[in-house]
Amino acid sequence: MPAPADALEILLGHSPDPDDAFMFYGLAKGFVNAGPYRFTHILQDIETLNRRALAGELHISAVSIHAYAYLQDRYALLACGASMGDGYGPMLVARPGLTLAEATRHKIAVPGTLTSAFLALRLAIGDFDYTVLPFDRITEAVAAGEFDAGLIIHEGQLTYASEGLALLLDLGVWWGAETGGLPLPLGGNAVRRDLGPARMRELNGILKASIAYGLAHRDEAVAYALGFGRGLDLALADRFVGMYVNALTLDYGERGRRSIALFLERAHQRGYLERPIAVEFIS
Cα–Cα distances in Å, from 7 out to 4, 38, 39, 177?
5, 6, 9, 47
Q: Are residues 128 and 74 in the same domain?
A: no
**Is residue 1 one of the residues assigned to a domain?**
no
Q: For residue range 123-181, what is the model confidence (pLDDT) as tens digits?
A: 999 999 999 999 989 999 999 999 999 999 988 898 899 999 999 999 999 999 999 99
In contact, 105 and 127? CB cutoff 8 Å: no
List 43's β-bridge partners, or say none: 14
Q: How far is CA 13 from the centre of its chain?
A: 12
Q: Are residues 95 and 228 in the same domain?
A: no
Q: Which of 135, 164, 179 is the last residue of a domain?
A: 179
Q: Are residues 157 and 42 in the same domain?
A: no
Q: Are residues 133 and 243 in the same domain?
A: no
- Please tell me the distance from the alpha carbon of residue 270 to that of residue 139, in angstroms, as a whole number: 29
Q: For residue range 101-114, what is the model confidence (pLDDT) as tens digits?
A: 999 999 999 999 99
Q: Are residues 131 and 193 in the same domain?
A: no
- Please tell me the distance from the alpha carbon of residue 90 to that of residue 92, in angstroms, as a whole number: 7
| Among candidate residues 53, 86, 85, 87, the one with its CA nearest the CA of residue 70 | 53
Q: For residue range 212-221, what is the model confidence (pLDDT) as tens digits?
A: 999 999 999 9
Beta strands across the sheet bearing 130-132? 130-132, 108-110, 149-152, 91-94, 166-170
If you average pLDDT over every residue of the chain, what do you get? 94
Predicted confidence band at 232 (pLDDT cuts at 50, 70, 90)? confident
DSSP summary character for residue 35: T
Q: Are residues 192 and 260 in the same domain?
A: yes
- Please tell me the distance from the alpha carbon of residue 269 to that of residue 262, in angstroms, as a whole number: 10
Average pLDDT over residues 238-256: 94
Q: Are residues 203 and 69 in the same domain?
A: yes
Average pLDDT over residues 185-190: 96
| Among candidate residues 17, 25, 81, 21, the one with its CA nearest the CA of residue 232 | 17
Number of Cβ atoms within 10 Å of the Cβ of 254 = 8
Q: Are residues 189 and 73 in the same domain?
A: yes
Q: Give the CA radius of gyration of the chain.
A: 18
Look at residue 1 in the predicted model and tell me its pLDDT.
Answer: 57
The CATH number that applies at residue 229 is 3.40.190.10
Is 268 annotated in the active site? no
Q: Are residues 192 and 254 in the same domain?
A: yes
- Please tell me the distance from the alpha carbon of residue 91 to that of residue 159, in angstroms, as a whole number: 11
Q: Return the percentage of the chain with pLDDT > 90, whole number.
A: 88
Q: Are residues 265 and 190 in the same domain?
A: yes
**Is residue 128 one of the residues assigned to a domain?**
yes
Q: Which of 149, 179, 209 is the last residue of a domain?
A: 179
Average pLDDT over residues 80-101: 96
**Is residue 142 one of the residues assigned to a domain?**
yes
- Say whether pLDDT at 17 is over 90: no
**Is residue 209 one of the residues assigned to a domain?**
yes
What residue numbers bound the domain in which 63 lies? 8-83+185-282
Catalytic residue among 14, 59, 66, 154: 154
Q: Are residues 44 and 172 in the same domain?
A: no
Predicted confidence band at 2 (pLDDT cuts at 50, 70, 90)? low
**Is residue 252 one of the residues assigned to a domain?**
yes
The number of distinct structural domains making up the chain is 2
**Is residue 3 one of the residues assigned to a domain?**
no
Alpha helices in 56-162 (DSSP H): 65-68, 100-103, 116-125, 138-143, 156-159
Q: Are residues 190 and 164 in the same domain?
A: no
Q: Which of 143, 162, 179 is the last residue of a domain?
A: 179
Q: For residue range 62-71, what is the model confidence (pLDDT) as tens digits?
A: 999 999 999 9
